[in-house]
Copies of this chain bind each other. A is one copy, B any other.
Amino acid sequence: MKVAINGFGTIGKRIADAVSKQPDMEVIGVSKTRPNYEALVAIEKGYKLYVPKDKIKKFEEHGFEVRGSIEELINIADIVIDATPAGVGAKNKNLYIKFNKPAIFQGGEKSKVADISFNAMCNYEKAIGKRYVRVVSCNTTGLLRIISILEKAFGVKRVFATIIRRGADPKEIKKGPINAIVLDPPHIPSHHALDVQSVLPHIPISTVALAVPTTLMHIHVVRIELSKEVNEKDIVDILEKSPRILLVEAEKYGVKSTAELIEWARDLGRSRYDIPELIVWMDTISVTDGKIVTLIQGVHQESIVIPDNIDAIRAILKIATRAIDSMRITDESLGLKRWW
């Protein structure tokens, strides 16, 4: 299947690399709007470069070989992944309609941009054959993974989560609090609760979000009231055999922070030190009153949604009809934790 990547920034470049590793799809081209260092990376990796028609000349003056306009890229694709900045995806939708192409949007877009908001572990089957699918954002993906696993195993009655967001991504030099904790937003709930409900509408959930001056990962303090009584071992057992979850022992291996986690990913030689798995600190799993599970989890904001984008392609194009069939191929190809 021919995949066009519209937007080659933080998410787009990772999706391009991930698509390249799949046996059943290929990247036919990527788009850039500025002839910057990421455009150089695209060329270096062998991706064909497509740019806005009015910028072809500018790119060529910068020495880039341009294969054509973004319209031409979309025209030859079986599917488009829109990884443009938040809000731009909605504007691009007309283009995808015009060329009659299915498209995947990112979580920065409003949920109404698509027929369905998507997370592979929650609602893969509902996305099969859909035209427009929105892969929810990084924080929502992290929440959905933990909630869906615990819901299937024990039933979930209520969720409360505090999200401590990284203030900016590593490459962003104009964003983020310098010396502050920012109430982001200064009201409760944050949009994440509604975003979780865009995928799991029946879950009662409230979320609080704060931004802090760090770039590496988000941290969630999650408190989930279950329907059944459990103990800590029940939770560990179920998470150990779940896809896209990595249990980390903080005390045993000295991994008590996002910085040490990322150092570990760098040492392992992971591309861009990405951690698409949801990190759950085993030491923090705590059960009170029999049914209330509290834990701390880590979300690598740049990479956690990449596997779900790949699965969304297979759902839309009906390449795999069961979530598990797509997820196995995705996770094996990307070198994620083995769970099957």
Q: Could you say which residues of chain B place their CB within 8 Å of the CB of A283?
A: 186-187
Identical subunits present: 2
Q: Which of A186, A217, A258 has the most CB of B within 10 A?
A: A186
Tell me whether A334 is interfacial, beta carbon within 8 Å: no
Residues of A in contact, count (CB < 8 Å)? 44
Partner of A281, one of B183, B258, B281: B183
Q: Could you say which residues of chain B place their CB within 8 Å of the CB of A96?
A: none
| Minimum Cβ distance to chain B for residue A273 (Å) | 13
Partner of A212, one of B187, B214, B288: B214
Partner of A186, one of B178, B212, B281: B281
Query: Of residues 168 to 197 in A, which have CB atoms within 8 Å of B's CB atoms?
Result: 177-189
Task: Answer whether A210 and B219 are a contact pair too, CB < 8 Å, given A164-B181, A180-B257, A183-B281.
Answer: yes
Complex Cα distance, B164 from A166, in Å, reads 13
Tell me whether A338 is interfacial, beta carbon within 8 Å: no
Partner of A284, one of B178, B183, B216, B256: B183
Is the CB–CB distance between B286 and A183 below 8 Å?
A: no
Is the CB–CB distance between A259 and B177 below 8 Å?
A: yes
Task: Answer whether A296 and B208 are a contact pair too, CB < 8 Å, given A179-B215, A186-B281, A213-B214.
Answer: yes
Query: Of residues 126 to 184 in A, which have CB atoms within 8 Å of B's CB atoms?
Result: 160, 162, 164, 166, 177-184
Tell me whether A223 is interfacial, beta carbon within 8 Å: yes
| Minimum Cβ distance to chain B for residue A184 (Å) | 7
Q: Could you say which residues of chain B place their CB within 8 Å of the CB of A309?
A: none
Besides A188-B284, A212-B214, A223-B223, 5 other CB < 8 A contacts?
A: A181-B216, A181-B217, A181-B219, A183-B296, A213-B214
A contact residues vs B (CB 8 Å cutoff): 160, 162, 164, 166, 177-189, 206, 208, 210, 212-217, 219, 221, 223, 250-251, 256-260, 281, 283-284, 286, 288, 294-296
26 A-B pairs in the complex with CB atoms less than 8 angstroms apart: A160-B294, A162-B221, A164-B164, A164-B181, A179-B214, A179-B216, A180-B257, A181-B216, A183-B256, A183-B257, A183-B281, A183-B284, A183-B296, A185-B256, A186-B283, A186-B296, A187-B250, A187-B286, A206-B288, A208-B284, A208-B296, A210-B219, A210-B296, A212-B213, A212-B214, A213-B214
